[in-house]
Amino acid sequence: MALTCPRFLLPGAAVNLTLVTPEKAIKLAANDFFRQLLMEDGMQRNLKMEMLAGCGAGICQVVVTCPMEMLKIQLQDAGRLAVRQGSASAHSSSRSYTMGSASAHKRPSASLIAWELLRTQGLAGLYKGLGATLLRDIPFSIIYFPLFANLNNLGVTESTGKASFAHSFMSGCAAGSVAAVAVTPLDVLKTRIQTLKKGLGEDSYSGITDCARKLWIQEGPSALMKGAGCRALVIAPLFGIAQGVYFVGIGERILKCCE
């Protein structure tokens, strides 16, 4: 089958790589900022303040990365659409979103999709699904950051006042896995809403509630947990490495060398 070709496994890789760096940087830095703002020096651990700081971090991150998430999903969906178009080209007019005739024959790219969205829908096109993205990433941050902080605190030594890289890494993996699985239903809804091009017979959604209702009726409640294992496998090491490096202080050392 055409879908087994390696090139169908790579669309969106460049956007994903571009997305990961600012997403983690914004999320970690924003969480630290809000923690310092909300929690006074010497204040004992306060779960409510930690959750509120995580909420602020999630909002800051989504505002910046939502357009890149949007482009990533369109590129990753291009292979499926190419196969569907080949078998049902006569019904291509039924798609809910189409590109211009000049660009329809070009190989999809992030810049091409971004230009078409801006041309046809304006800036709002790049932020389609913003509500669903906020609904996913805010709960993720609310769960992840307090959980990581408490797990990481268990490994803090009196001599250094910090946890080891290994402990921070494992804490990030554990917290990331739990948060990723917990918000999987919201991630499924976000992805369905942000998939602009629809194949023959596929539903279009007017919003989060409409998407959840149709998904529940047509595919059952188990559909809301699709990809939970894969999300945990991806996010666990991603946050483990990011959090470990962040707490070891490599960023601070690089900045000092640049001064």
Q: Mean pLDDT of all residues in the chain?
A: 77
User: Residue type for 81, please?
Assistant: L
Whether residue 70 lies inside any domain: the answer is yes
* Beta strands, E only, 47-196: none
Average pLDDT over residues 59-65: 86
Look up residue 157 and give its DSSP letter.
Answer: -
Count of domains forming the chain: 1
* pLDDT score recorded for residue 85: 57
Asked if the model's pLDDT at residue 84 lies above 90, the reply is no
pLDDT band at 17; cut points 50, 70, 90? low
Q: Which range of residues forms the domain containing residue 243? A: 17-78+109-257
Q: What is the mean pLDDT of residues 164-179?
A: 91
Average confidence (pLDDT) over 68-81: 74
3-state secondary structure of 161: coil
pTM of the model: 0.74
The answer to whether residue 103 is domain-embedded is no
Give the DSSP letter string of 169-222: HHHHHHHHHHHHHHTHHHHHHHHHHH--S--TT----SSHHHHHHHHHHHH-GG
Is 230 domain-assigned?
A: yes
| Mean pLDDT, rounded, for 113-122 | 84
Q: Which residues contact 77 (CB under 8 A, 6 or more apart)?
A: 195, 197
Within 13 A of 98's CA, how many CA atoms are on the CB side?
A: 13
Identify whether 94 is part of a domain.
no
- Give the model confidence (pLDDT) of 122-133 as tens digits: 888 888 888 888
Query: What count of residues does the chain have?
Result: 259
Q: Kindly state whether residue 104 falls inside one of the protein's structural domains.
A: no
| 183 falls within a domain | yes
In a domain, residue 167? The reply is yes
Q: Is 89 contained in some domain? A: no
